[in-house]
Amino acid sequence: MTPGARLAAAAEILTEVVAMKAAADRTISGWGKAHRFAGSKDRAAIAERVYTVLRRRNECAFVLDSDTPRALIIGSLVAVDALDVDRIDALCTDGTHALGALTPHERSALSEPRTPPQGQPWIKLNYPAWLHDEFVAAFGANLDQEIAGLNTRAPLDLRVNALKAERANILEELEREGLAPVACTQAPLGIRLAGAGDTKVTMLTAYRDGRIEIQDEASQLSVVLANAKPGDTVIDLAAGAGGKSLALAAAMANRGRIFACDIEPVRMLKMEPRLDRAGASIVQIAGDPYGEAIKASVGEGADIVFVDAPCSGTGTWRRNPEAKWTLDPARLKTFRAAQAQLLDRAAVLTAPQGRIVYVVCSVLPSESSGQIDAFLARHPGWSVSTAKRFTPAHDGTDGFFAAIFTRTQR
């Protein structure tokens, strides 16, 4: 493919991502399967352009004052590559499959570079303007640094399954695979493959054998904070595909009970093969978190109710930059309502001496400290014993928040 055709392909992928609110990685993969003529270097260059535009969308859109896929690609040639108008025009006409010649309006705009106005940091920092107040509340004077951290490319983190392996042995094995792994500095079972985002982890023997799982270090630390012990009864109240259930089972040495719940049965179907591969035999798929069956299963209540709540995903922007632009106020409101509902349900399911562990992959105060305050106002018999926030800039992890609630009145 010519450089111009690669740019046109990136615009095509961006069109689908925006129109369908689709995941960028799956859209890129689907495009590659449908266009077998594209070589590995072509696909890599196209993917890099797509992710660059998604990470720096506001800067790219500002160039032509437009957020159409074509305008974003052309804008990236200015904002990212610092090309002049003649070089850009040459790329746009680079073969029959290129973007097409610049219009007079585009040429005029590119010939007269604009400067972002003062007082609009979301342009330079590339985040949605409507989230500005939340980010100021979250980061204050560190806004630039923290948002820059969310705009970097994430490393690939793994969790060693303590039911089947030890970290030292996995480190040696991955070194033999040529992956240059390093032990995570905070998570005791974490391994980081820096700069290995394209590594096919699912093809590794250690993964197929259930000795490792893909899990960001902050997510691993939320399970460490939960401090689940062998013999505990735990409810994973919004289990999804089961990542936290697997980590909890390992922390409990496969002794005790874990009930995995979710409102979407289809998501839980993905859990069964993961449980088998990991050897996590204490995890039971329990279905609807609001059903009577789960209440009957735990009797007087669970020692831990783990609430990995649906959220904005703002903490995962390093991995999923398209999520910045598919989030809107209505969706955020829906997420906050679901978080509050899950916390209220957790209070019903927790034993008198038990605790609720609330986690979200978000950096927004309305999904973290705001939910704490709202829960305590609704449930005055509870208190917060731990609240911890992780960010890429401060901790080198995804953005994450974890809090532990315990009863003050039993």
Residue type, 197: G
Domain ranges of the chain: 3-115, 156-214, 218-407
Instruction: Specify the 3-state DSSP secondary structure of 274.
Output: helix
Q: Which CATH class is domain 156-214?
A: alpha beta
Q: Mark the ranges of the chain whose per-residue pLDDT is less than 50.
A: none
pLDDT for 20: 84
Residues 6+ apart with CB under 8 A from 278: 161, 163, 164, 210, 213, 246, 249, 250
Phi, psi of 391 (to 5 degrees): -140, 155
pLDDT for 108: 94
The two three-digit tokens of residue 89, written as one number: 């025009």
pLDDT for 114: 85
Residues 6+ apart with CB under 8 A from 18: 69, 325
Q: Half-sphere exposure of 387 toward its Cβ, with a 13 Å CA cutoff?
A: 12
DSSP for 153-201 reads: PP-EEEEE-TTT--HHHHHHHHHHTT---EE-SS-TTEEEETT-TT--G
Q: What is the pLDDT of residues 365-402, one digit of tens each?
A: 999 999 999 999 999 999 999 999 999 999 999 999 99
In this structure, are residues 60 and 123 in contact, taking their beta carbons and an 8 Å threshold? Answer: no
In this structure, are residues 308 and 239 in contact, taking their beta carbons and an 8 Å threshold? Answer: yes
Q: Which listed CATH number (3.40.190.10, 3.40.50.150, 3.40.50.1980, 3.30.428.10) goes with 218-407?
A: 3.40.50.150
In this structure, are residues 406 and 383 in contact, taking their beta carbons and an 8 Å threshold? Answer: yes
Q: Is 218-407 in the same CATH topology as 156-214?
A: no
Q: Which of 254, 248, 246 is nearest to 270 (CA)?
A: 246
Q: Which helix (H) or strand (E) holds 226?
A: helix 217-226
pTM across the whole model: 0.93
pLDDT for 197: 55
Q: CA-CA distance, 54 to 9, in Å (whole number)?
A: 15
pLDDT for 269: 85
pLDDT for 118: 87
Q: What is the pLDDT of residues 43-54, one digit of tens each?
A: 999 999 999 999
Q: What is the pLDDT of residues 108-136, one digit of tens each?
A: 999 988 888 888 999 999 999 999 999 99
Q: CA-CA distance, 106 to 52, in Å (whole number)?
A: 21
